[in-house]
Amino acid sequence: MTAPLTPPPPPHDDSAHQVRQAPPAGAPLAGMYEQDGPGMKTEVREAAVVTVAVALGGVLLGLLWWWLAPHVPLIADHVGKSWVVYIKDTEGEQAIGVDGTFTLLGLAFGLFSAVVVFLWRRRGGVPLVVALGVGGLLASLLAWRLGVWLGPESDVIAHAKAVGKGVTFPAPLDLGAKGALLAWPLAALLVHLGLTALFGPRDPEEEPYPA
């Protein structure tokens, strides 16, 4: 009596149990490297270049501020042995114009620097954004100090003695509202983030895993 034949097992389908094989050494890192950006070291170097370049732009801002800002007229009077200096036109808006000129120039420079950096590196990244903010603040500080240095004599009493009693002379060039120093960095950050959100490259969508 012969034993019953055992039917052969069905062919094993490994498609549902396939293990995803790792690509050759170096391949996944290279792919991720190309997708995520040029690498942290490169981004930091680029950010350092942006910081220095933007900060040096403060020289031009300072020159334009010194050239375009209105002069606040002062007049001196000699009372006994002391000098009294006061604003000649108490209702004038020259002092507001000094701060306003710096603010408007800072906004324009912030807009320009953000556009240039975005066109240079569309991918953006945190280091570039930080570089724009830090560079813009340094540029504003440099422009402020340069304008003060190029402007009229900062020693008002000495200037009054030099020109004499009753003679109008310009007040030192300075910022009454130090918040104007933030015009450049804030404008640069907002414009760059907006450009990156609207026109920056999009991350590729991941393909779904097979069922």
Predicted pLDDT of residue 52:
96
- Per-residue pLDDT of 79-121, as tens digits, reads 767 788 878 777 678 889 999 999 999 999 999 999 999 998 8
Beta carbons within 8 Å of 79's beta carbon, 6+ residues apart: none
Q: What angle do CA 82, 88, 91 make, to 5 degrees?
A: 135
Return the ∠ at Cα 136 (arms to 133 and 137), rounded to 5°: 85
Contacts of 60 (CB under 8 A, 6+ apart): 109
Q: What is the pLDDT of residue 207?
A: 57
Mean pLDDT of the 67-84 span: 84
At 17 the pLDDT is 46
Using the predicted structure, report yes or no on whether residue 29 has a pLDDT greater than 50. no
pLDDT value at residue 5: 52
For 143-174, how does the pLDDT look when each residue is reduced to its tens digit (9 = 90+)? 999 999 999 988 888 888 788 887 888 889 99
Confidence of residue 76 (pLDDT cuts 50, 70, 90): confident
Looking at residue 42, the DSSP 8-state letter turns out to be H
Q: What is the pLDDT of residue 82?
A: 78
H or E stretch including 83? strand 82-87
Predicted TM-score of the model (pTM): 0.75
Contact 73, 88 (CB under 8 A): yes
Tokens of 180: 């104007």
Q: What is the pLDDT of residue 188?
A: 95
Among the listed residues 181, 38, 40, the one whose alpha carbon sits nearest the alpha carbon of residue 123: 38
Helix (H) or strand (E) holding 76: strand 73-79
| Residues 69 and 152: beta-carbon distance below 8 Å | no
Per DSSP, 125 falls in state -
According to DSSP, residue 14 is labeled -
Q: Kindly list the distances between the CA atom of residue 115 and the CA atoms of 38, 119, 120, 141, in Å, as whole numbers in the listed order.
A: 20, 6, 9, 21
